[in-house]
Structure 1
Amino acid sequence: MKILRSNDYRRMPWKNGGGETVEIAVSPERAPLSDFDWRISMATVASNGHFSTFPGIDRTLSILEGPGMTLAIEGRQPKLLTAADAPLTFPADVPTSARLSDGPVTDLNVMTRRHTLKHRVRRLRVEGSQTVVSHAREFVLFCHRGSVALTTGGVSATLHALDAAVLVQPGSVTLSAEIASDAFLIELSPS
């Protein structure tokens, strides 16, 4: 288990120069935008505009904060994405633009190299104790709000808001929270 604290995340410009992203985790470690296997980041979208394109990459977007945005993804009907919606998966190499609903949003962005890996992103509400079973090669637990304790294989850690944990072949993990907390489970597997 590798714990990632929010104050250690790397800040960097968007690929298209239109804003700033906060890189939570990338594999291989410190890989450039042109050569990662998987990447998880957050960004604040403050104005309407086009997304950066990433050839051969699949992306899943979730709204963390703000009123939402409508995504225009080539070949699809426009889709309003809000914090109440399930994460939205789409190819990162097709033209995509966003129109804000009513002010800035902060999003969670998960990307994997299409012919190498696949990913799945789930929102979790953690209250009390629950066990999560995964057959993924790796998974990342990202604590959005509150605090989540996790235990696997006799190792324990507590994640606070915006912290994350990377686990390799975890099998099952016990999550617990004294007060209702929100998290995202990101599963990464060979394609």
Structure 2
Amino acid sequence: MIIRLADCPSQPWKNGLGRTREIAVQPSVDGGDGFLWRVSVAEVDSAAPFSAFPGIDRQIVLLDGAGFTMKLDDGRVHALTTPFVPFAFAGEAKVDVALAGGPTRDFNLMVRRAQARGEVLPWHEPATRRPDPATVLVFCARGSIDTAGGRLHVGDAWRPPPRAVDPLTLCDGALALVVRVKPRAS
């Protein structure tokens, strides 16, 4: 299934201090926090703190803009200024933000820590690849990508069907953010 970012409505952050577009969530929930995993694209246009998500592991990836510096309550300071490089942190962390320039957009993965673990992998070499069974979403961050469901352009995402065997083709200059989620071992 192909998801067009333009079809994902902008909605307020949980804390009301920013905007996000939810691309996919599993299981589907209406505005609740009962998800196993969630993928979104956030618009950061002010130095607002991030929303808290207790029990959630997060990964964030700068898509465009000058980025920002994240000051976490565990003492870490991270400059999210290099596009397409994932950064992981705990959802319950208090995160203050200082913009490096103007507004930015970032890609976000949230996974319920007690039930699963997730990762965002940048794929950027022109090639044909097969997503593995843990792949739940492929996001086109740059260029175009051919999938079994059709062509992705910047901002589009593809949810592979269960046990997908069809390959993806990254066209010249394409960059995919591949989201993998695996259940935690009991």
Tell me the equivalent position of 2:160.
167
Tell me the equivalent position of 1:109.
108
Tell me the equivalent position of 1:147.
144
Deviations 1:103-142 (A, max 9, x none): 1110111101111111010111142x32245241x42000
Q: Percent identity?
A: 33
Secondary structure of 1:180's partner? coil
CA distance in 2, matches of 1:38, 1:10: 19
After TM superposition, the score normalised by the length of structure 1 is 0.88
Secondary structure of 1:167's partner? coil
Tell me the equivalent position of 1:53.
52
Cα distance change on mapping 1:51 and 1:175 into 2, 3 Å: same
Tell me the equivalent position of 1:157.
150
Secondary structure of 2:181's partner? strand
Secondary structure of 2:88's partner? strand
List aligned pairs for 1:117-132, cutoff 5 A.
117-127=116-126, 129-132=127-130
CA distance in 1, matches of 2:166, 2:125: 13
Cα distance change on mapping 1:169 and 1:9 into 2, 3 Å: same
Say if 1:66 and 1:83, in contact at 8 Å, map to a contact too: no
CA distance in 2, matches of 1:7, 1:85: 21
Counterpart amino acid of 1:51?
Answer: F
Secondary structure of 1:97's partner? strand
After TM superposition, the score normalised by the length of structure 2 is 0.90
Secondary structure of 1:184's partner? strand
Say if 2:144 and 2:170, in contact at 8 Å, map to a contact too: yes
Secondary structure of 2:159's partner? strand
Between Structure 1 and Structure 2, the one with more strand by share is 1
Tell me the equivalent position of 2:175.
182
Say if 1:146 and 1:160, in contact at 8 Å, map to a contact too: yes
Tell me the equivalent position of 1:134.
132
Q: CA RMSD in A?
A: 1.8
